[in-house]
Structure 1
């Protein structure tokens, strides 16, 4: 189907119909930074000191206490206060109230809910708890969109995300805030990667990879905007509320979006697919073949690529499995990614790549926070560093291909992070430079990863495959804080070594993947496996022919 349907997309060209999908996914990426990076502005670490206790503030004792004559104050992490009895003996008591340094932020989650001292771990939980939701949202994204379509699941998810964001801005209960963060973690993968997939599926083939890279630029602008808004609005509730308002504009796109015609064809819904293509032709001002010819072409495509008999048997099996329960059905839907050799290889390599990328990307971002940099400026710089990764690399990638560019990106990243432990302590600027180089290249590979995943996974399992890879990335997201904050404290060089080794492993694994530059998209796993089998047979036949030619040639001595 890939080649023939791509011919239809070429006839449609790129016009208003396609641009609407590009605008939708761009807006989705723009909404991510407040969700992904809330910690620096909503729950930052704050300087704090104990409030002086009342003279007789302790219960469960009859011994009077006095205010300590010299109230113990430190610059950071003040968790106890020193009291003394009438006899002058000191006693240390845990603080129950604090004064916070509000010189940078007027109000934060840290100060409002006293997430310091014994409760400081809750600040870390707030920053990472959305990962629990993502562990559910990533695989659920694939299952929902492969079953119910590319349009409706992400459309519902983005509306719910907008509502959740508004409620989170004003809820007075911290446990409920964490619950809302988990819900947001479920919803974000569904609408972001759902709209990304449909945007790629309706894109004109010659622009597909370029669009896959460029639509991520709004993420960089979203990071810059997030840093700018935080600088202007120092009260955390109003900050998150204002940052959530662009979601209303996103919702306005939904009524104008159509279902993916690729998905409709795979499901055998030819009449609906024709209506979508006819609307696209009107919006783009082009002419397509007659309706009857399009339907015949769709039937031919489905027959050639999917194998109707196998598909019918598979549908029958899936129907029986559905009767056994949703969990078994989910397992069967995911196991298709591991049943046959080619799709299994693609799935495993993409999972390793996703885990590697998120570890290095997040790790460098966390490690960068130890540098003495203005928090707002650092966030803006982080966004600026990603812009070249999403733009200037496109010509290079289009010339040298996805696989080669990915391998080079991993290698440069590995060299930069391996070099960090060898930088002298008095050359902090060099450490920052190496970290930023690594971050720029890992951001580049990140974008290649998303676009390549659309090209590597067939349509019938595309969202499922991307979702499983992203599930692996969430595991990396959980591990990264421990790599930086735990192992890094014991051995300062160990995080760099781990990230460097991961980069090398991912580069080697990428050599196993096929090049997807200027190749049509596969629609079914059967088509992918069959095509790979035919290529291997042709390669084997060519090798045999070369051996026969060499055997027929006389030895060099006879030729003389």
Structure 2
């Protein structure tokens, strides 16, 4: 199926229809940056001074009257010392603070007094998005694989837009935190969900370019976000302005069609044909007649029939039970040998790359605005350099080189004397470049390795594993670093070596067709050779037999040249 559907994409060529998907993906990735990385500007740590002690506490300790307190002095940012007559003194907690507003005029930190005993709320604001993503990653995968790509995407982005705009004007801190948690659940729809969608309609020869280039606006938006936060120092207006670009995307999503790959897997051939015919009109290309196209899609599905079927209605769910059905949708990833190997290696790979990302540290001392902009420029450079590398060398071998380079850097940097900044800084910059590139390559590699019917949930589960490890890296790694400063980095370095060894067992996916079903993946080697199908120009199809050994039940055509509108039966 995959080879044939990729052939149809080649015949459709790349035009306005495909470019719309790529543009939507790039735009969506860019506009979620402010909401994913709002913490440094919305809930930053601030310099505070205690201005008012707990008067009730004084009343309890000085029951006669408050006049016995002669004067008070700040003891630290959380406490004040009260001095009374006769040399008596007592320490009381602060209830009001003054804030250094030289950098920010208004933040959640200052508006809700998230200091001292409430400082943990500031951390929650930054971390609760990650906790939401824990739920969103697997949820996105299941929804996208069972209910299609388009409708979950539309609904999630509508909710995302409403929540981002509404959260700017909420009065209660609890409601703000809840909205952040909901945004975390919805973000995976725009990240790996939409990425899967776009890659499924990408012409095979452009998959290497598009798979990386779509992230360039995402990198640029880090720089834009740093500049926007510099210009707008009030957190409510800053997030309001950052929310406005979400709404044009809602209108654009109305023009997106359902993924034809997913429709074919689900047996909805008429709808798939309608989508492909619309794509041909938009791209100015030619497809076989409708009847022939339906026959082709039927052959595609029959050759890749899979025992793995998802319940689309309520009957199956009721019969098996909701919990059992939910477990079954995830268990598909681990049930068969090849699919299980791919899934586990991807889990390990994302775990490794995200762990290294969490341990990369600060490269250069600079303020928050500059560092956000610098991060974007660094990612931009990584993506631009990655494209020609994976076009020539594929996905697997650049990943292996990246694992090896990062392993050396992570194991060496902790033991370099801190005074040798001329050596440490270039190594950290190089590591950051490689890690950014590896993460994007891994996204593309995952989409190409996983079959259509489990693609979204396979990527979602791998990302879920990586997010959990990221949290562990941030919380446990900080404690380990206090005891053994080299431990987190060396651990990540060793993990990178293990991931490299595991990745060696996977095939490279450069110029290889995408699989549509788990069954097709598991039976890949039943046909030893490969039919090469390519198009010299619209309407002319060339099929060459490069197979020397085929299965007994499979007829492989000889070199055939057909005129426009005539499609060989085997195609």
The answer to which structure has the higher strand fraction is: 2
Q: How does 1:540-559 map to 2 (within 5 A)?
A: none
Query: For each residue in 1:115-138, what CA deviation from the matched residue of structure 2 results, as whole angstroms up to 9, or x when unmatched?
Result: 111111111111111122112111
Q: Post-superposition shift, 1:73?
A: 6.1
- Aligned residue for 1:203, secondary structure, equals coil
**Against the structure 1 CA distance between its residues 172 and 317, is the aligned structure 2 distance closer, same or farther, given a 3 Å change threshold?**
closer
Q: Post-superposition shift, 1:316?
A: 11
Equivalent position of 2:251 in the other structure: 252
* Aligned: 1:437 with 2:446: no
- Indicate if the aligned counterparts of 2:26 and 2:215 stay in contact, CA closer than 8 A: yes
Query: For each residue in 1:326-366, what CA deviation from the matched residue of structure 2 results, as whole angstroms up to 9, or x when unmatched?
Result: 221110011011011110010011111112222222332xx
Q: How does 1:125-524 map to 2 (within 5 A)?
A: 125-306=124-305, 310=307, 320-364=316-360, 367-368=361-362, 372-428=365-421, 430-524=423-517
Note the aligned Cα RMSD (angstroms). Answer: 2.3
Query: For each residue in 1:242-301, what CA deviation from the matched residue of structure 2 results, as whole angstroms up to 9, or x when unmatched?
Result: 111110121121111111111111111111111111111111111111000000000001
The TM-score, its normalising length taken from structure 2, stands at 0.88
**Against the structure 1 CA distance between its residues 361 and 468, is the aligned structure 2 distance closer, same or farther, given a 3 Å change threshold?**
same
Q: Post-superposition shift, 1:315?
A: 6.5
**Against the structure 1 CA distance between its residues 55 and 211, is the aligned structure 2 distance closer, same or farther, given a 3 Å change threshold?**
closer
Q: Post-superposition shift, 1:491?
A: 2.1
- Aligned residue for 1:170, secondary structure, equals coil
Q: Post-superposition shift, 1:67?
A: 6.0
Query: For each residue in 1:376-400, what CA deviation from the matched residue of structure 2 results, as whole angstroms up to 9, or x when unmatched?
Result: 1011101110112211221111211
Q: Post-superposition shift, 1:532?
A: 4.4
**Against the structure 1 CA distance between its residues 168 and 381, is the aligned structure 2 distance closer, same or farther, given a 3 Å change threshold?**
same
Distance 1:50 1:316 in 2: 59
Equivalent position of 1:71 in the other structure: 73
- Aligned residue for 2:95, secondary structure, equals coil
Query: For each residue in 1:120-165, what CA deviation from the matched residue of structure 2 results, as whole angstroms up to 9, or x when unmatched?
Result: 1111111111122112111111111111111010111011101100
The TM-score, its normalising length taken from structure 1, stands at 0.90
- Indicate if the aligned counterparts of 1:417 and 1:496 stay in contact, CA closer than 8 A: yes
- Aligned residue for 2:92, secondary structure, equals strand
- Indicate if the aligned counterparts of 1:224 and 1:383 stay in contact, CA closer than 8 A: yes
- Indicate if the aligned counterparts of 1:2 and 1:522 stay in contact, CA closer than 8 A: yes
Q: How does 1:19-30 map to 2 (within 5 A)?
A: 19-30=19-30
The answer to which structure has the higher helix fraction is: 1
- Aligned residue for 1:87, secondary structure, equals helix
**Against the structure 1 CA distance between its residues 249 and 468, is the aligned structure 2 distance closer, same or farther, given a 3 Å change threshold?**
same
The alignment of Structure 1 onto Structure 2 pairs a total of residues equal to 529
- Indicate if the aligned counterparts of 2:53 and 2:79 stay in contact, CA closer than 8 A: no
**Against the structure 1 CA distance between its residues 316 and 255, is the aligned structure 2 distance closer, same or farther, given a 3 Å change threshold?**
closer
Distance 1:204 1:329 in 2: 34
- Aligned residue for 1:51, secondary structure, equals strand
- Aligned residue for 2:83, secondary structure, equals strand
Q: Post-superposition shift, 1:227?
A: 0.7
* Aligned: 1:80 with 2:64: no
- Indicate if the aligned counterparts of 1:356 and 1:499 stay in contact, CA closer than 8 A: yes
Query: For each residue in 1:70-97, what CA deviation from the matched residue of structure 2 results, as whole angstroms up to 9, or x when unmatched?
Result: 73366xxx11111122121221111111
**Against the structure 1 CA distance between its residues 83 and 147, is the aligned structure 2 distance closer, same or farther, given a 3 Å change threshold?**
same
Distance 2:80 2:432 in 1: 43
- Aligned residue for 1:96, secondary structure, equals strand
